[in-house]
Structure 1
Amino acid sequence: MSIKTIVFIGLGLLLLYLFFTVGAPFLLALIVAIFLEPLNQLFMKRFRMNRLLAATISSSLFTIILIGLIALLGVKVVAELIAFFKKVPNYFEDANGMVDDLMNQAQSLYQNFPPDAIETLENWLMGLTSTLTKMVGTLSNTVIAFASSIPGMFIFFIVFLVAVYMMSFSLPTMKTTILSLFEEKSQQKVDALLNNLKKSIFGFLRSQFILSALTYIISLIGLLVLNVKYPLAIALLIIIVDIMPILGTGSVLVPWGSYLILTGNLYVGVGLIILFLVITVFRRIVEPKILGDSVGIGSLSALISLYVGFKLVGVIGVFIGPLVVIIYMAARKAGLFQMKFKL
């Protein structure tokens, strides 16, 4: 592999990282613009509209639908999230009090233990109490941070909507500009790369959306059956945690269910554990099929890319990792990176 190719790959990865950080609204707008392109072509061919009018109509339809969904579901979910996060510290304070009671009760039981065993038990219980106290403080800070980030989220949303209109109108020009950066004999391969990349990325996003939507539905049904408060918000929290590698739905449902079982609420506690098992089995059965069919990469490759991306870059790497694999697979299909070892 030449130095030029290595530099090109490095710049591409840097650009990808910037897209997922400071350029996130423009990346989302680009994805939406590509998604709306078939509708633009339909308007232009069927109704003989020019590019500007077709892009304006399709982008306006998207904006109206998005704002309508936010008005119908978003307000309810946000209200439940705020109420839920206000209640969560109380839950942890109750858990902290329960641990204190257990410590007081345990002291009468292990008085006859060897001194080393008593010291180990007391250190463990004190560490548990300290952890719960820190979690309460962290959750309180999270609520404050969420409230303070609302103006930034509003600006992000406005920039995103404006960028959707602009990119939907200038999408063909952007593609032509990108192709003009390459030699004429390479433009065909780059065009094939962009087409394969578009199919793979949209396949990946579609698979993640389908998996998240199905998991949300199962979680919501389970929470409604168990008569849990704030089901919309909690189901959304489960989805957000489930996207993160290593964590998964068990990071929410298992500790919560275990706490309820310890405090005597067996019905809801056992129900949450069963819900976790149902979601886990369902995803293990469905995920390889959906991901493989939509993206064309194996489930093992997807898992490795998720974990490596997370360890190297953090939460953003959860998305960058699979995209790097997708870009590489698309480049190979287009005839690039045909590297073979000769012994």
Structure 2
Amino acid sequence: MKRFDRPLIRNTVIFIILAILAFVILPVSVPIILALLVAIFVEPLVEFIQNRFKVTRKTSVIINYTVTFGLFILLFYFVITSLIARVIDWSKAFPSYLNDLGGIWINIQSRMFDMTQGLPLEVVNSIQKEVDSTLSDIQESLLAIVNYENITALATELPSLLVSFIVFLIALFLFMLDLPMLRGKFFRYFSNETADKILFMYSGIKRVIFGFMKAQILVSFIILFVSLIGLYIIIPEYALVMSIVIWIIDVIPILGSIIVLAPWAIGAFAMGNFALGTKLSILAVILLIIRRSVEPKVMGAQMGLSPLAVLIAMFIGAKLFGLAGFIVGPLVVIIFTTAKEAGIIKLDFKL
């Protein structure tokens, strides 16, 4: 037996170097990596159009790229213009909201005065002190959120986000064009046996990821349908626009529709419209229950995993990686399962 296993040492060193490079490069390569993943996802559609209509790959890529980008721009334009119109409406009504808020505060003070009549002066002063302290904390919290530093930081990030978005668009188009060539170059570095295992693993991952995307689309349409009906019952004039906004934002794990409905409900309560605030709160809870209960079942059915495995993977992923863990967790399970099926990982043992 040799004292040192040279191939093992070499492979270990290569793995460590690649891990260090990945740790350094990956955080600044998110737009490019995202573009590669999207190109892999839309590859079946590119091949379908190319084979169905007998066109070149470049033509198929241009068609897919243009249609997808055009639909995104139209949806973005519709949502932004609608939101701007609503913000203008709200800004026009803002003075009346302030008057209502002042009246509400006067009523609260009047009720507090009636409720504290007959109480010792020390108790009244203590209650007034607690109320003033609470209002001061709320004011400080709002000022901490909406202050010059945060707005400046957000403004300084906009050019960087714009550059990243442009890089993503360019990289996506180039990856869509050159994906077959890149795939061929990638497999040159593997033996036929290893390449077959990787291809099997790749096809399994692609199948499960498409199932994941299909599950997300199905759940998102359920959310859109329920929010549209709920908002039409609650506040019809904003139903269509706000349901689309909720539908788009709902892809954010855990939070989702709460990001839209919670501030809306809080604003309604602050303006004294307790009926609207209560209805919006109930709708937010209903949407959250639907997503948390339906999502594991739909994802399990579409991905070929049990709902329990998906739920556990999402929970552990969220604990380890935060919000991103809701995607990373199931993805790790997918990679492990397909690698085991391909024979790359072998766990055939008994205790």
| Alpha-carbon offset, residue 170 of structure 1 | 1.1
Deviation by residue 1:191-237 (Cα, 9 ceiling, x = unmatched) = 11111111112221222233223313422342243227755665466
For 1:76, the equivalent position in structure 2 comes to 81
Q: Does 1:211 align with 2:219?
A: yes
**C-alpha RMSD of matched pairs (Å):** 4.6
DSSP 3-state at the match of 2:218: helix
C-alpha change, 1:133 and 1:144, in structure 2 (3 Å) is same
Alignment check: 8 A CA contact 2:79 2:245 kept? no
Deviation by residue 1:260-297 (Cα, 9 ceiling, x = unmatched) = 45764243233223323442454355323321122223
C-alpha change, 1:27 and 1:229, in structure 2 (3 Å) is farther
For 1:312, the equivalent position in structure 2 comes to 320
Q: Tell me, in whole angstroms, the C-alpha distance in 2 between the residues paired with 1:212 and 1:328.
A: 27
> After alignment, is 328-337 or 3-12 more displaced?
3-12
For 1:159, the equivalent position in structure 2 comes to 167
Alignment check: 8 A CA contact 1:257 1:272 kept? yes
C-alpha change, 1:336 and 1:106, in structure 2 (3 Å) is farther
Pairing partner for 1:33 from 30, 39, 63: 39
Q: Tell me, in whole angstroms, the C-alpha distance in 1 between the residues paired with 2:13 and 2:122.
A: 61
For 2:145, the equivalent position in structure 1 comes to 138
> After alignment, is 246-255 or 47-56 more displaced?
246-255
How many residue pairs get aligned? The number is 340
> After alignment, is 61-70 or 143-152 more displaced?
143-152
5 Å matches for 1:218-257? 218-227=226-235, 231=239, 234-235=242-243, 238=246, 242-247=250-255, 249-250=257-258, 253=261, 256-257=264-265
Alignment check: 8 A CA contact 2:212 2:303 kept? yes
DSSP 3-state at the match of 1:204: helix
C-alpha change, 1:52 and 1:80, in structure 2 (3 Å) is same
C-alpha change, 1:48 and 1:228, in structure 2 (3 Å) is closer
- Tell which structure's C-alpha radius of gyration is larger: 2
For 2:341, the equivalent position in structure 1 comes to 333
Q: TM-score, normalised by structure 2?
A: 0.72
Greater RCO, CA 8 A, separation 6+: 1
Give the letter aligned to residue 226 of structure 1: I
- Unpaired runs of 5+ residues, structure 2, are 1-7
> After alignment, is 7-16 or 326-335 more displaced?
7-16
| Alpha-carbon offset, residue 78 of structure 1 | 5.5
Give the letter aligned to residue 76 of structure 1: T
For 2:177, the equivalent position in structure 1 comes to 169
Q: TM-score, normalised by structure 1?
A: 0.73
| Alpha-carbon offset, residue 50 of structure 1 | 3.7
Q: Percent identity?
A: 30
- Unpaired runs of 5+ residues, structure 1, are none
